[in-house]
Structure 1
Amino acid sequence: MARFEERPRIEAMNREHMSVVLAVDTSGSVAGEPLRQINANLNRFKECVCEDPVAASCVDVCVIAFDDEPRVIQDWVPVSQMQPIELTSGGLTDLNGAVLLAVEKLRERSREYAANGVLEKKPYLIVMTDGQDNVTGAVSEAAALVTRRTNEGKLKLFFLGYGAYDRTAAAQLTEANGRWCFQVRDGCFDFHDFFDFVGNSVKAVSVSAPGERVSVPTNINSDISNVQTVDLDSWLSD
């Protein structure tokens, strides 16, 4: 794990830090174009956040890939030190295990901040998947944990579904957010609007003053975007 004193910008010690976990589905169904887009946009995320030198020094990132089981691909580093991502695909989808691991990684980073006397912005958990959990068979354990952490103000979840993703699981995981998520239009695997939005959100929030309201421009939900927000409550009621 990178130590804070190794950072190139010593003044970063005096700012609030922000941890971000990206949990990415790499099961067999994402082979081909979806995986190519995933790799490109994970690297795009780094570039977006690092456009601001303060954000580059104060945002820490961890990348988790999940198929038959979740695994850490990039352990905690300042986002500026995030290595190029080139994921491969195969196997089933352990969504429940991936979210549980992601939350534990965020808690791990919070403990590291506290031990070093570093103040912390609310952590972000970014999850993207095209399927349902066919390893555990349910996401109830992960959903309960995410709901509790969100209600305690210790987590903000961004969930992106595409392809034949499990909307019921998405609704469970986003319970505390009002049961809505981001969705890519059917048959499309261009995720750039979503990654631009979360990257710009991380960049803006990480450098904002305490209590400052942050507004992030986005094309999402417009006619020119292939990404939209979905009211899962309404879908479940149909």
Structure 2
Amino acid sequence: MAYNDFSAEVAENFEQKCLCVLVLDISGSMYEIVDDSNTVETGKTVFIDGKTYDVVEGGISKLDNLNEGLKSFYHDIETDETTSQRLELSVITFNDVVNVIQEPSLISNCERPFLEADGDTALVDAVYEAISLVEARKKWYKETNQPYYRPWIILMTDGEPNSDQDIVALAERIKKDTTAKRYEFLPIGVDNANMAVLQSIQGRIPAMKLKGTKFSSFFKWLSASMGTVVTAEEGQAINLTSGGTDWMESFSI
């Protein structure tokens, strides 16, 4: 795991912060087409992430929808006066390797990523990286006298972990941490994701299934939910619902 050191960073404001870490699967299967209305067959096949796919030209992939959803999410946070000053966003991507492509920051300092896909699924390593980052950022909040809300780790994946990934140990860690309310963990499965795996690592919030075309709905919900979180009073129960979208069932925290 990388060592996250924020000691040289100076706080921009002293609003109560909420860290949201997006852990995003960019394995090769994210190029799978979910809207084939404008595709042209090439007659070629490719073996990616444990499956064989027909290669086509055109169409809309899961990755296209993810990039578009991220675009709307960044815009919604940026244009909300309160959330933009309180929400810190971090983005971690994973395929064969794990990369922190956005360190925790207010949206004004974030450059929206454009994601490309390749490789397999180092899911467990990516979640541990997110946990490490959350711990380091909370330490920095305390050192700089910034109040903070419970951080969120949001995992989105369309497959299942590589065979060398220890799901059992991760499940135990997440259960322990979320029971102690160190962070909230929300696992999202896209299309062909192994939901049994995601359910095994869920914390207080159940694993959710997302249709490949519903990324925009999810990120609209997420921006609205983060807005709710950062305006809540201390100890207030928060009900996070689907907000009229159909990508998930409602739940409370």
TM-score range, shorter chain: 0.7 to 0.9
Asked whether the 8 Å contact 2:189–2:207 carries over to 1, the reply is yes
Q: Distance in 1 between matches of 2:31 and 2:238?
A: 36
Q: Aligned pairs, how many? A: 216
Give the structure 2 partner of residue 130 of structure 1.
158
1:64–1:73 Cα change, 3 Å:
same
Counterpart AA for 2:70 = L
Letter in 2 for 1:30: M
Q: SS in structure 2 opposite 1:177?
A: coil
The structure carrying a bigger helix percent of its residues is 1
C-alpha distance in 1, partners of 2:71/2:62? 15
Question: Does the CA-based 8 Å contact 2:123-2:165 persist in structure 1?
Answer: no
Give, as a single letter, the amino acid of the residue that structure 2 aligns with 1:106: V
1:181 is matched with which residue: 198, 201, 207? 207
Report deviation, 1:37.
1.1
C-alpha distance in 2 between matches for 1:170 and 1:38: 19
- 1:199 correspondence with 2:223: yes
Whether 2:236 is the aligned partner of 1:212: answer yes
Partner of 2:86: 58
Partner of 1:228: 248
**Which residue of 177, 183, 188 corresponds with 1:160?**
188
Note the C-alpha offset of 1:136: 2.4
Distance 1:56 1:106 in 2: 19
> Is the Cα–Cα contact under 8 Å of residues 241 and 249 in structure 2 kept in the other structure?
no
1:68–1:135 CA contact under 8 A, matched in 2: no
Alignment of 1:46-195 (within 5 A): 46-174=74-202, 176-177=203-204, 180-185=206-211, 188-195=212-219
Name the larger-Rg structure. 2
What one-letter code is carried by the residue in structure 2 that aligns with 1:3?
E
The separation in 2 between residues aligned to 1:114 and 1:219, in whole angstroms, is 33
Does structure 2 retain, via aligned residues, the 8 Å contact 1:94–1:135? no
**Which residue of structure 1 lines up, in the alignment, with residue 41 of structure 2?**
none
SS of the residue corresponding to residue 199 of structure 1 reads: helix
Distance 1:105 1:85 in 2: 19
1:145, 1:43 → 2: CA distance? 32
Worse-superposed segment, 158-167 or 108-117: 158-167
| Residues 80 and 216 of structure 1: CA distance in aligned 2, closer, same or farther (over 3 Å) | farther
Aligned-residue CA RMSD (Å): 2.1
Instruction: Tell me, in whole angstroms, the C-alpha distance in 2 between the residues paired with 1:228 and 1:207.
Output: 23
TM-score normalised by the chain length of structure 1? 0.83
Q: Which has the higher strand share?
A: 2
Distance 1:216 1:51, change over 3 A: farther
User: Percent identity between the aligned chains?
Assistant: 21
Q: Which amino acid aligns with 1:139?
A: I
TM-score, normalization by structure 2? 0.78
Check the 8 A contact 2:91/2:102 in 1, yes or no.
Answer: yes
Q: Is the 8 A contact 1:92 1:135 kept in 2?
A: no
1:22 aligned residue: 22
Q: Point out where structure 1 has 5 or more consecutive residues left out of the alignment.
A: 231-238
Q: Label 1:214 to 1:130 Cα distance change in 2 as closer, same or farther (>3 A).
A: same
The 5-angstrom pairing of residues 1-40 of structure 1 reads 3-5=9-11, 7=12, 12-13=13-14, 15-31=15-31, 33-40=61-68
